[in-house]
Structure 1
């Protein structure tokens, strides 16, 4: 691989090549165990966070796994990437993990040379955990954003159903222990924050939306036919899902609903993404007689994704393990009504009968009924599209970036969790800080 300048990438520790930071800029070090080219919500959020902070004038460095093994430095969209040595994750064919051997020393050297004002960890796995420990040792304040749910890992790790409860309990206890060592904890929604309290975390958790780039995702209704042609879709009403085709996404619900929808409307289901369930979903569609109406579009590059949403009439999501769902936000910003499973954080994005509908997870008949309610009413569809836009505007990523900058300014080294009492704000777009004593208040 070559650097942006065309020279050969270094094969030594990336940190040893680091250039001292400019003294007048806020220095932010982000640690993450997944980053593009990885395809998942946490990777995309972290890239947008890093690049957005850089565009706002901060000096941003990211520690992340190398996509092919050897370590190196890259400069991308204003962000310095320290790609550390990695190996394939045996249970997940498309992801890699940083190698623990030597990582602590690498990160200590990076902290010494870069001297960040703040560390922002995006999890508690190999890089996140090691960077949090390094930050604690040298007194650098640490912010942690949670993207973790054990349910998203059970399928890849082949954890049998009877063991998922105990395994999940152990995983949560480990995560709570790591969270207790940082200065400030955030997660994308109030629902996700309450989940951390329910799992035993005893300190405030702030809900800060992942955010959506409204300059990229917005309605272009005149381009619907062009978008369908670009994706090779027939001219039919289209229900779209964007994301991994994996077990916890419950895409079977939507495939099983399609025969009922197709009896009433000339509709199709478009699935954007790749994953381990594709072959099984193809077989399911064939067995139900709708193979020609379930369109597997595969991976769509990020720069083409805004156009892809224009091919749809309704966005569907059946997942039961979403802490926010960036894809749903993108669809809403693109002017789509939503039919979503009534699970985890998805109800935070769907205002029932206003911008879409919720349905009981697993009830594909209910999913079909909700979709038909939207497709059969042109005025309702238009009103729901407008409501989706209104809700999406509350999640403008510039507001999220500004809030993270405020958090960086308020954390201080060596003080542990910020235990000051905060007022609970639940108004649109306001940061939500959930404390154990207040959790019941927020559920009303």
Structure 2
């Protein structure tokens, strides 16, 4: 049986974010391969809109609407479901219900699991998670890091990398870099786990060596006020909190950047690092979670321990002050990012989809 119609379940922008962007891009690319693709959105706008202002009620309304959508749109014509899943309440409220509804309707589920919190989440909720996992046809993960987490719990998984928009994230040829005022960027949400504060502290050291250096922080989140206060306390200049950007705006930001900093404390396979490398921007990052499986220290990035802004700054200055090192990181980063192109991901997905359909017809 050949695949003609599938349903993707996952979040969509807005707001833009790693999994939402991946869901939207995957649907677009699969349609480009001639498939009929329906997307069931797990984060649709609240209907009616005023429900969104009532925390408890809005959760109940969204869940009720989600179940109604599943019952209506998971018809016998759907050959398989590609489920975008994450840890925590997102799993319990959206991923698990899809699996159980699909089981009743005899539709195979391809589970696409992502997120750096898997280990902690499984440690607390494994029995409930495993009860749903056993009804998935295959588990796809974007990294060796997550594959190892599943293996520790006795579950096999297959690595299928995140999709990179190779038309959007491209390097730009420049006649010369601003060596007096390098542009440093941070493209993570303003949440505690991404430790943007360490990036700002590292930038303070960078600005001592490059007084005209600029820092752009792209993202939103609950840490904004505290980070703005930190900037004030450190008496830093040329720092711009640009807010949440569209993928097109992020691509434009990278094309104007000289360095990307990432201070995350918990992580899996961050798209931001892949996009930076594809844009020809050298990366200095912590070595949290699955990042060492995504990039190699001193080859296509410089990695430092998490929570160490002084080491983050030292690595950043090494890149900014050594043209040969910078160029080496850029070239290796471009080569690394190439493995996330659609034609390579599609080849892997086709194989998994075909195997799932073959098993479901027997």
Choose which of 206, 213, 216 in structure 1 pairs with 2:165: 213
**Larger displacement relative to structure 2 (102-111 or 184-193):** 102-111
- Checking the alignment, whether the CA contact within 8 Å between 1:271 and 1:298 is kept in structure 2 is yes
Q: Give the secondary-structure state (helix, strand or coil) at the position aligned to 1:100.
A: helix
1:132-182 deviation line (CA, Å, top 9, x unaligned): 112111221111011244489xxxxxxxxxxxx7x7732444333322220
2:79 to 96, 117, 132: 117
Contact 1:120 1:145 in 2 (8 A): yes
Distance in 1 separating the partners of 2:209 and 2:65 = 61
Match of 1:239 among 157, 160, 184: 184
2:160·2:345 contact (CA, 8 Å) conserved in 1?
yes
Over 3 Å counting, the alpha-carbon distance change for 1:377 and 1:369 in structure 2 is same
Distance in 1 between residues matched to 2:251 and 2:54, nearest whole Å:
30
In the alignment, what sits opposite 1:193? Answer: 147
Distance change in 2, residues 1:223/1:317 (3 Å): farther
The equivalent residue for 2:63 is 100
**Cross-structure match for 1:16:** none
- Taking structure 1 as reference, are residues 118 and 315 closer, same or farther at Cα in structure 2, changes over 3 Å only? same
User: Match of 1:82?
Assistant: none
What CA distance in whole angstroms lies between the structure 1 residues aligned with 2:157 and 2:107? 20
Counterpart secondary structure, 1:222: coil
Counterpart pick for 2:215 among 244, 265, 269: 269
Asked if structure 2 preserves the Cα contact closer than 8 Å seen for 1:187 and 1:207, the reply is yes
> Is 1:372 the counterpart of 2:314 in the alignment?
no
1:109 is displaced (CA, Å) by 3.1
Q: Determine the C-alpha separation between the residues in 1 that align with 2:60 and 2:300.
A: 39
Q: Deviations over 1:309-341 (max 9, x none)?
A: 011111111112222111110000001111111
Deviation at 1:352, TM superposition (A): 1.4
Match of 1:127 among 94, 100, 105: 94
The yes-or-no answer on 1:398 pairing with 2:339 is: no
C-alpha distance in 2, partners of 1:318/1:287? 20
Q: Which residue of 2 aligns with 1:203?
A: 155
1: CA distance, partners of 2:194 / 2:316: 18
Q: Does residue 1:45 correspond to 2:22, yes or no? A: yes
Instruction: Name the residue aligned to 2:34.
Output: 57
**Aligned 8 A contact 2:9 2:42 in 1:** no
Deviations 1:17-41 (A, max 9, x none): xxxxxx9961011112x21112221
Contact kept? 1:139, 1:414, Cα under 8 Å: no
What is the RMSD of the two structures over their aligned residues, measured on CA atoms? 2.9
Question: Aligned partners of 1:414, 1:343: CA distance in 2, in Å?
Answer: 37
State the Cα distance separating 1:269 from its structure 2 match.
2.1
Q: Is residue 281–residue 330 contact of structure 2 (8 Å, CA) maintained in 1?
A: yes
SS at match of 2:103: helix
SS at 1:391 equivalent:
helix
Unaligned runs of 5+ in 2: 86-90
- Cα 1:361–1:24, aligned 2, differ >3 Å: closer, same or farther? closer
Partner SS for 2:306: coil
User: For the Cα contact (< 8 Å) 1:273–1:298, is it kept in 2?
Assistant: yes
**Are residues 96 and 244 of structure 1, via their aligned partners in 2, closer, same or farther at CA, if it must alter by over 3 Å?**
farther
1:284 matched to 2:213: no
When normalised by structure 1's length, the TM-score is 0.72
Identify the residue that residue 182 of structure 1 maps to in structure 2.
136
Q: Tell me, which stretches of 5 or more residues in structure 1 are unaligned?
A: 1-22, 72-85, 153-164, 229-233, 416-444
